[in-house]
Structure 1
């Protein structure tokens, strides 16, 4: 099998120099994934322009590509994916927050949020959550960039087959490797030795290929040290998404289940 370009994206809905969008760029060949470069973008515009470059690549993106069908139908929003995404992108963030909060407030304790079918097996937060983490805003900022770049979104929207975008979730792979241990935090006061050790443990497992993906990560010593030294975990999360994209690149139908709900999308590998 010839080598394949792959990318992994740790996304921020409001990137800054301190908290950028991070893209891990690599090359997948058989069971080995070699990290080639890490790119940081402190604006959405800069990241969007990078996405428009010619491929080929297969990418794993750490933000949701859809909304819970239960929520969409309750609100009377379009149930065709492209129309739904265009409607959602037209809303301002305060309107999204107020609409979702009203939905939650009308529901019983323990069932406030609606969830996508993929959230259970992936262990992910619902894409309607606007805080901790604000994935609703990540969807709002991220999907329009993919649409504008004209990439291919398997099961959702046909685009440039040389640039394939898949929804990824680094927490899915991280939990396989270290359980519920925390390995990152943006708060300097919480950037502990325990989290540093957890990042080391994740990288050790990835470099040895000790995951169900059956892939081995190849790093230079400098790359290894840089990933461990980032207490926010953003660079490591981009690499975890890179591995998920590399796995998907070797699967039939990108490893996505047949007939997943196109309103909701699906996290690759879940």
Structure 2
């Protein structure tokens, strides 16, 4: 009797919020690979971290790219005297309050020279990402604090960092990496209604068109219905479009396959790596 063909994994792109609410949800773009294109099947929104965590616990298979940092800079961790293995460091970090995180990181920065206030991970520069210790504009340090402990609790697999359920694979994504490749310095989103300008709408439409034609380093084409295209353009916060960008990063990781899903051989097992950075 022939062995059953394993199910193709669901592809997931996650635009994350450390404090989700009805007007600022966590957004999951879900889809699949078909004939060389990435088909967007649906958008799912979560107004609480608990609801998102419950989704993470559902059976796989899925491969997801999540828009928040999975690790802290080694330089920061070593100077603070925190645990130098990833899981121990993350559990130590999760036990801190946001107030403690802000005070600790602010003191670290205050002791450093102008222009070198923040410590950076090795992946930050090639990805053009904010340092994962930054607590404001954007508050990625709080996103890490809210997101990573829930990934751990859900038992998902984090390639290069933590062994878990290999039917549920979570990778660090960053939509800005692909967006800048298409738009350069043009802004396409804002949570501030006063900044949701016609120019940003045009930029979103240009970005969507480029994704549909596969005009990024990944060479993947996003397949959208007319209604989906309109919805991505209409979301002036950019959250839906950011989730779709992460979906493409998850699809690229699926193409690269286990065990590393495109992550570099020499990634720092304390810091982690943004999938597709340097691809």
Superposition TM-score, scaled by structure 1 size: 0.98
Residue in 2 that maps onto 1:247: 252
Q: Does 1:267 align with 2:244?
A: no
Q: Distance in 1 between matches of 2:214 and 2:127?
A: 20
Task: Kindly indicate whether the alpha-carbon contact (under 8 Å) linking 1:3 and 1:29 is maintained by their aligned counterparts in 2.
Answer: no
Give the gaps of 5 or more residues in structure 2.
Answer: none
Q: Summarize the alignment of residues 79-158 of structure 1 with structure 2, pairs less than 5 Å apart.
A: 79-158=84-163
CA distances 1:92-130 after superposition (whole Å, capped 9, x unpaired):
000000000000000000000000000010000000000
Q: Distance in 2 between matches of 1:30 and 1:115?
A: 39
Residue in 2 that maps onto 1:63: 68
3-state SS of paired residue (2:261): helix
3-state SS of paired residue (1:268): coil
Q: Summarize the alignment of residues 205-216 of structure 1 with structure 2, pairs less than 5 Å apart.
A: 205-216=210-221
Q: Distance in 2 between matches of 1:29 and 1:3?
A: 10
Shift of 1:256: 0.4
3-state SS of paired residue (1:257): coil
Q: Distance in 1 between matches of 2:183 and 2:265?
A: 30
Segment of structure 1 superposing worse, 197-206 or 210-219: 210-219
Q: Distance in 1 between matches of 2:74 and 2:34?
A: 37
Segment of structure 1 superposing worse, 244-253 or 190-199: 244-253
Q: Distance in 1 between matches of 2:252 and 2:86?
A: 25
Q: Distance in 2 between matches of 1:36 and 1:167?
A: 21
After superposing on structure 2, the runs of 4+ consecutive aligned residues of structure 1 that deviate more than 2 Å are: 1-4
Give the gaps of 5 or more residues in structure 1.
Answer: none
Q: Distance in 2 between matches of 1:52 and 1:35?
A: 22
Q: Does 1:197 align with 2:226?
A: no
Superposition TM-score, scaled by structure 2 size: 0.95
Task: Kindly indicate whether the alpha-carbon contact (under 8 Å) linking 1:4 and 1:29 is maintained by their aligned counterparts in 2.
Answer: no
Task: Kindly indicate whether the alpha-carbon contact (under 8 Å) linking 1:31 and 1:214 is maintained by their aligned counterparts in 2.
Answer: no
Q: Distance in 2 between matches of 1:135 and 1:162?
A: 27
Task: Kindly indicate whether the alpha-carbon contact (under 8 Å) linking 1:6 and 1:58 is maintained by their aligned counterparts in 2.
Answer: yes
Q: Summarize the alignment of residues 168-183 of structure 1 with structure 2, pairs less than 5 Å apart.
A: 168-183=173-188
Q: Distance in 2 between matches of 1:48 and 1:144?
A: 10
CA distances 1:133-183 after superposition (whole Å, capped 9, x unpaired):
000000000001101111000000011111100000000000011111000
Task: Kindly indicate whether the alpha-carbon contact (under 8 Å) linking 1:3 and 1:30 is maintained by their aligned counterparts in 2.
Answer: no
Task: Kindly indicate whether the alpha-carbon contact (under 8 Å) linking 1:68 and 1:116 is maintained by their aligned counterparts in 2.
Answer: yes
